[in-house]
Structure 1
Amino acid sequence: MKLNIIILFFLVSIKSLGQKQLDVFFDFNKDFPNQKSILEINEWIATNKNVEITKLLGYCDSIDTKDYNKKLALRRIENVQILLDKSGLKFNKNIEKIAFGKDFKQSKVQAENRKVTIFYKEPEVVAVESELTKRIKNSKVGETIALPNIYFFNNSARIVPKSEPTLIDLRCAMEENPKLKIEIQGHICCQLVSDLNDVSTARARAIYNFLLRNKIDRKRMTFKGFGTSRPIHPIPEKTPQEEDENRRVEIMIVEK
């Protein structure tokens, strides 16, 4: 009988690889979690709404008979399942529920043996390609792509924090396409004369430096400022939107 228990526990352990688990504890001879565990499980549920429950294993301490403890362990499993179900958590359609009673390797601390172990899987994170990544992937050598939502503080090369998602997209595209080489091109708006402070070059350099700090090889990048020499809309612009579209950073695909 002991050999069967060891084999069963070994198989349960193997199946549990790759899953996460949470222990819920009970007071002596009780089939509902103790107050401390109720608080912990409520906190856990609040931040794990999208998990899938795959397995519930019930245990008891060494006191009382084997049959009584197995029935108690089963009641503990059922009550934990009800608690999780009322919280709207998802259960695997082939969920395993095993009551060990006291037939397992017991801790010397009896309170640690009175528990239900919840096994669960977190939802798979599906990578979603950004529009920028798609455009770079489908681009041809010589094509120019505007970096969306890149903003700078007024008349400076300091990048506004809300530009970070685009910077990360660009970095990821460079990492995923190791043969990709680009020229980073800066443009400004609104000035009828040339770029007196060379802000366009400084802004292109800021993007270059971001990639450099994130371990993109400098041999794959160059940068250049064009001032107001390549406006999308005639200067002076008629609307703030035209100003935004002239005030931009682009990348030109040099090699793929």
Structure 2
Amino acid sequence: MKYFYSFIVVVLFQMTFAQEQAMFYFDNNKFELNNTETAKLQKWISENSASKILSITGSTDEVGSSGYNDTLSLKRVGYIFNQIQGKVNIRADFKSISLGEKGATSANKAENRKAIIHYLLEKDLDKENEVLGIKEAEPEVIIPEDATLEEKVKLSKVGMKIVLKNINFYQNTFATMPESQGTLYDLLFIMQNNPELKIEIQGHICCIDKDYRNLSTDRAKQIKRFLVYNGIQDYRVKTKGFGVSQPIHPIPEATPEQAAENRRVEIEILSKTR
């Protein structure tokens, strides 16, 4: 079973409402339990075979050097682990925490010589990640390259970027060429039919070392002008120019095709309802 030891200054493990803990106490300078505590541990094991252990924390009193106490609490954790291994379920990312004398929180030295098992009861295992504050990874969104712009926007999540295909400008200007009209009206249609959709239009240029004339920003603003002129509220459309700071291919580009891919307009989804 994979586990590792961590030496820390403060307690790393924050207990939540559904986590349980069991404490076992050691005699002075001992890392094995006496007969009374051994019986207590065995009883706990028999009652918790279906529970799941999250971590074990060991501590000592303040007698002795800090180095000695660190080692002693480490041995206490290891002893408890060896007793429960194979008898109680243990998380794959189980943590073994050695506090040494830093775990001495009681004025009674005997109460500081302990190991604490943090665990979940069987009834709480169905919400294990929720209890531990672990968010399940969302499935990766795969958008087909040949999907329409409307389909891409529908499939996208907030933060995703979509290249606007066939948006072209006259050389060294922000005036769009006639072949751009189809994509512009597609975008307008999408904005009209998704009133909660907010986007940022992002301009990129190619072929030079710096956007001296801020052309990438002007091109993004030109797309916004089209949308606003046709009734889209100003606040729903932001603009930004990236110049040549985010090329798809290294500059200078090796081919005209690479230059065309660097010279692009994208939209980033800022908010949407569906």
TM score, norm. by length of structure 2? 0.46
